[in-house]
Amino acid sequence: MKLGCIADDFTGATDLANNLVRAGMRVVQTIGVPTGPAPDVDAVVVALKSRTAPVAEAVAESLAAARWLRRHGAGQIYFKVCSTFDSTAQGNIGPVAEALMDELGADFAIVTPAFPENARTVFKGHLFVGDVLLSDSPMRHHPLTPMTDANLVRVLQPQLRSRRVGLIDHRAVARGEAAVRERIAALMTEGFTLAIADAVSDDDLRVLARASADLRVVVAGSGLAIGIPALHGLVPSAQAAALPPAVGTRAVISGSCSAATNGQVAHFIAQCGAAFAIDPLRLAEGQDLAAQALTWALPRLGARPVLVYATAEPAAVKAVQQQLGAEQAGALVERTLATVASGLVQAGVKQLVVAGGETSGACVQALGITQLRIGPQIDPGVPWCHAAVPGVHLALKSGNFGGPDFFTRAFALL
């Protein structure tokens, strides 16, 4: 293993893994801290659920992941955070970064959530989402991690216990690797041990990746990953994304209610027709819709995918949530869809698309999956994956990702 990665949430982990694969690395994503031997790949991405966990828990899990990754040969630890730098005044970006640096004896770390391809840029230490500052973006209203300051130096400093955070600004990055290294050396002389790094283009990210090749810890969104495989002599190749041949029958499970997913469900029904709807109100009445969905689906399994969905338009979701409570409705639907996913896989489905971040988490858990090999990209941020246990190809699509024909086009790419 050349690179060890720790991601603070599941879909972020996949996003990072996808970028590494596209740039030529063979990558496995693990669900939680792995145990046992390391897979034979270039990078392992450990997916945690630590973004909004209590600080001590996030630190402990991240350290456990770092120790496993180091034990299995990782020279550098890439701490993957959200591209909108989602964190609270307490963390968890600062405390986890600091703990990883202490653990690895790192004397300096760069920090950059920039990912220009996804419209996240950092200039003079300020994070832009598209054309607006982070603090003017919808992220300022986020229910768990409202981001009301776009100045990342100012955001990160109070999260740190003893370290000081500086800035590698664009004047240095634009002059290239040597200038960034000089800037790091100068910051270190002044007593800074972390720095927010500006990046407004893919070239800037490649410069930063080269300049931080010797650093034991980097803290970044998924963007910096585009420059790392080249440091190990790797180039983009179909081989990096190669998965075992696809076998078995096909299904789609959809529990996301985002605008994109609603469009994908409507498109699928218009194209294929084979769809079974899960109504949360009937679930709450005690009806066993998972069993009904499986009875409906099993005779229909074949080369053409079947769809089981709870996806609904915002007004319908609101009505359900008013009656059942948002959390209860969500948990009920997730449980049901995960049961359906298990039943389908037991019945021979080996190519499965799941829509929804939480829904994906529930299905992956129900299927007992702990490791995923990352394959070719279907749409930005969403690759095909393969779980050797239980032997299934999976595409896990979070909310608003994917074009309207995602559910049908995905299978054509396997």
User: Which residues contact ligand ADP by CB under 6 A?
Assistant: 255-258, 261, 280, 310-312, 317, 320-321, 329-330, 333-334, 356-359, 398-399
Least distance to ligand ADP from the beta carbon of 399, Å?
A: 3
Q: Closest residue to ligand ADP, Cβ-based?
A: 356
- Residues 380 and 116: their CA atoms lie apart, in Å, by 13
Residues 228, 3 contacting (CB under 8 angstroms): yes
Least distance to ligand ADP from the beta carbon of 172, Å?
A: 38
Give start and end residues of each alpha helix (H) in 30-176.
Answer: 55-71, 93-104, 152-156, 170-175
Least distance to ligand ADP from the beta carbon of 331, Å?
A: 7
Least distance to ligand ADP from the beta carbon of 3, Å?
A: 27
- Give the residue with the Cβ less far from ligand ADP, 233 or 286: 286
In three-state secondary structure terms, 57 is helix
- Residues 78 and 66: their CA atoms lie apart, in Å, by 9
Angle at 58 between CA 53 and CA 4, to 5 degrees: 130
- Give the residue with the Cβ less far from ligand ADP, 76 or 359: 359
- Per-residue CA distances from 377 to 258, 307, 403 (Å): 21, 21, 13
Least distance to ligand ADP from the beta carbon of 285, Å?
A: 14
- Give the residue with the Cβ less far from ligand ADP, 320 or 344: 320
Which of 251, 317, 301, 309 minimizes the C-alpha distance to 277? 309
- Residues 28 and 395: their CA atoms lie apart, in Å, by 14
Least distance to ligand ADP from the beta carbon of 228, Å?
A: 27
> CB-based burial of residue 39 (10 Å sphere; 0-12 exposed, 13-18 middle, 19+ buried)?
middle
Least distance to ligand ADP from the beta carbon of 364, Å?
A: 12
- Give the residue with the Cβ less far from ligand ADP, 19 or 264: 264
Beta strands in 299-399 (DSSP E): 306-309, 349-355, 371-379, 382-387, 392-397
Structure tokens at 268: 């699928």
- Give the residue with the Cβ less far from ligand ADP, 157 or 328: 328
Least distance to ligand ADP from the beta carbon of 332, Å?
A: 7
- Residues 23 and 28: their CA atoms lie apart, in Å, by 14
- Give the residue with the Cβ less far from ligand ADP, 82 or 180: 82
- Give the residue with the Cβ less far from ligand ADP, 160 or 331: 331
- Give the residue with the Cβ less far from ligand ADP, 311 or 339: 311
Residues 42, 3 contacting (CB under 8 angstroms): yes
- Give the residue with the Cβ less far from ligand ADP, 165 or 310: 310
Which of 236, 137, 377 minimizes the C-alpha distance to 113? 137
Least distance to ligand ADP from the beta carbon of 322, Å?
A: 10
DSSP string computed for 202-234: HHHHHHHHHHTTT-SEEEE-SGGGGGSGGGGT-
